[in-house]
Amino acid sequence: MIDNYKNVILNNYTNFSGRARRSEYWYFALCNVIISSILYVLMIATIVSSGEGGSALTSIFSGILFIYSLATFLPSVAVTVRRLHDIGKSGWTYFVALIPFGAFVVLYWLTVEGETHDNKWGPDPKQSHSNIDEIGQ
């Protein structure tokens, strides 16, 4: 799980080409939600404990959350585009999420198994991992 998160952040920060497996996308999304939730809880806890005026600690956690959100925006879009490539769709289809109920369509696409053959965005990432595993043994 952590490896997929690190791979997206460190190796594919703004890589919009190629394909991403479901596991890469969903483990990245899970880690992102966990980290964001922890920062939100810490921010809210400092707000509640400090009363109406807030505190410096609240500002710090708010700032960290804002910076984290900015830092993970591009990798989130990039891994989503690569995930759409894996099912044979252009990254531009991500804009379907902007129309009413389009987000549900994109969510469905993100859960569909990728194409099992090479497509115009590259080879099947599942096959690539299988071949590496076989070579390594």
Where in the sequence is the domain holding 111, given as residue range(s)? 2-132
In a domain, 114, yes or no: yes
In a domain, 137, yes or no: no
Per-residue model confidence (pLDDT) at position 76: 94
Around Cβ 83, how many Cβ atoms within 10 Å? 27
In a domain, 15, yes or no: yes
In a domain, 105, yes or no: yes
In a domain, 26, yes or no: yes
State the residue for tokens 């980290």: 35
Tell me which residue of 62, 73, 60 sits closest to 28, measured CA to CA. 73
At residue 15, does pLDDT exceed 80? yes
In a domain, 127, yes or no: yes
pLDDT band at 13 (very low <50, low <70, confident <90, very high): confident
Q: What is the pTM of this model?
A: 0.82
Which pLDDT tens digit goes with each residue over 84-123? 999 999 999 999 999 999 999 999 999 999 888 888 888 8
Number of separate domains in the chain: 1
Instruction: Please report, rounded to a whole number, the percentage of residues in the chain having pLDDT higher than 90.
Output: 52
In a domain, 108, yes or no: yes
In a domain, 109, yes or no: yes
